[in-house]
Amino acid sequence: MDLLQRLGRFLDRPGFPWKKLIVGFSLAEYLFEGFLSARQYRVLQEKKPPKALEGEVSQEVFDKSQAYGRAKAKFGFVANLYSQIQNYGIIYYDLLPKLWGLTGVWLTQYVPAKYQGEIVHTLIFFFTYNIITTVLGLPTSYYSTFVLEEKYGFNKSTVKLWIMDMIKGQALMVVFGAPLLSGFLAIVQKTGNSFFYYLWLFSVVVSLFAITIYPIFILPLFNKLSPLEQGPLKTGVENLAKRLKFPLNSLYVIDGSKRSAHSNAYFYGLPWKKHIVIYDTLIEKSETEEVVGVLAHELGHWSLGHTTKLLGISQFHTFYIFALFSVFINNRSLYQSFGFHKEFPIIIGFILFSDALAPMDTVVKLLMNILSRKFEFQADEFAVKLGYSKDLASSLIKLQIQNLSTMNADWMYASYHFSHPILPERLGALGYYGDEKKAETKRMDDEKPVKASDREL
């Protein structure tokens, strides 16, 4: 703790150009990601599918996938530029101190004196800022949903549903955001220089709370979960769960088609009580064994401890962020560089600290994606050992076609952005290369173990 305090005093240098440094970080990140996107755009101009997909994907589907990828890339260029201009405008025109001052006026005029203080002031500032950023994001959100996704047949939403989702999101922000942000501020105010220990414990409790209430109170506000009907699919999934000793509590179908034609499946829950959710679009467009193959991959993450490892990494990262924040929280030169000369609000300190941390976040993102892709290969291998190589490969190809996902990728772009390997890499790892490898795939399936006890879980 003494080391952190000494580091904090060292970094608090009057006149240090924090604003220029943070703007430079933001610009460098924007240019770097633009460079990667330009590399990926060249790949999206290729005319033929990768060799691994030549026998699986028609030229028409490949062309449409490439067009969809190019359309998303062009939109990404514009959206990122728009975001960059917003960020620069907020910094250049000192909008943060001006908004803090304006919300302070509202606080004194409309809030009883006994409730006035930094916590209530911060809540007014935060929700005002959130509304402003939401409004500024409406053009890109609307275009993405009702122009881009609509053009390629994915959007199933309506303007009314889109608006209602935003209203619900803002309402949830107030209901849950207010007590969480108040708790965050109160901990920092009352626990002194060791606040980051208590903030971390608070975040652990909040995470467990979120896992518990999300499926009960939040998810039903946006989607309908229905129990999976009796049939071959339910039997297959339940048998798979028993085989792996997965603590399955319930099986649900989610009406993903209400908003999009994209497909997915996932599980959630506490360690002793898990729930599996399958998108209706996945069930509609896949064979029963293919869906079970996808879930064999997903449960592989659980069986191999990936979810536990990622949770541990996440908690370590959270602790590390809060510990570093303790270095910057009293940095007057940072506040003053952004126009805060008399007041030094905690929330502003955290916002500016997050901006200063951008280069490190870039490195963390790269490393986490590398680890995630490794885990994906391991989960695929797990499904193969269970005998689902053919079903998983077939399902991955179908999902690729249904979602018009990127068929190929520039290696630098993929390393930085992709949490999953591209399809040709996954098919290669599965030993699936098209028609000439189907006999080999069948042989692998014929050798699958009969009982879970035949392998080490």
* DSSP-assigned letters across all residues of 22-75: HHHHHHHHHHHHHHHHHHHHHHTT-SS--GGGTTTS-HHHHHHHHHHHHHHHHH
Catalytic residue among 56, 289, 290, 298: 298
Average pLDDT, stretch 212-225? 85
Mean pLDDT for 152-170 is 92
* Residues in CB range of 439: below 8 A, 6 or more apart: none
| Phi, psi at 78, each rounded to 5° | -70, -45
Residue 383 CB-density burial (10 A; 0-12 exposed, 13-18 middle, 19+ buried): buried
pLDDT value, residue 438: 47
Q: Which of 56, 380, 410, 425 is catalytic?
A: 380
State yes or no: pLDDT of 170 exceeds 50: yes
Query: Which ranges of 191-342 does DSSP label H, i.e. alpha helix?
Result: 195-213, 219-222, 232-244, 280-285, 288-303, 306-328, 332-337
Helix axes of 2-11 and 306-328: crossing angle, nearest 10 degrees? 60
* CB-neighbour burial class of residue 278 (10 A; exposed 0-12, middle 13-18, buried 19+): buried
Distance CA 277, CA 266 (A): 5
Q: pLDDT tens-digit profile of 41-62?
A: 999 999 999 988 988 899 999 9
* 301 in a labelled binding site: yes
User: What is the C-alpha to C-alpha distance for residues 242 and 237, in angstroms, rounded to an integer?
Assistant: 9
pLDDT at 434: 61
The verdict on whether residue 297 carries a ligand-binding annotation is yes
Residue 269's beta-bridge partner residues?
Answer: 274
pLDDT higher than threshold 70 for residue 314: yes
Say whether 298 is catalytic: yes
Per-residue model confidence (pLDDT) at position 82: 97
SS3 279: strand
pLDDT mean across residues, the chain: 90
Residue 456 is predicted with a pLDDT of 30
Least reliable range by pLDDT among 41-45, 176-180, 369-373, 435-439: 435-439
Q: Which tokens sit at 263?
A: 């497909």
Start-end of H helices in 386-435: 389-403, 411-417, 423-429
Which of 21-30, 122-131, 227-236, 263-272 is least confident?
263-272
pLDDT computed for residue 1 by the predictor: 60
What's the pLDDT at 52?
86
CB 39 within 8 A of CB 417: no
Query: Model confidence over 253-311: pLDDT tens digits?
Result: 999 888 877 788 899 888 888 999 999 989 988 999 999 999 999 999 999 999 999 99
pLDDT for position 191? 93
> Does 2 participate in catalysis according to the annotation?
no
pLDDT one-digit tens code per residue, 370-416: 999 999 999 999 999 999 999 999 999 998 998 899 999 999 999 99
For residue 48 the two structure tokens come to 């033929």
pLDDT of residue 223: 87
Mean of pLDDT values over 124-128: 97
- Residue 228 DSSP class: P
What is the pLDDT, as a whole number, of residue 12?
Answer: 87
Alpha carbons 80 and 26: distance in angstroms, whole number: 11
Note every long-range contact of 219-222, with CB atoms under 8 Å and residues 24 or more positions apart, other chains counting: 221/168, 221/172, 222/165, 222/168
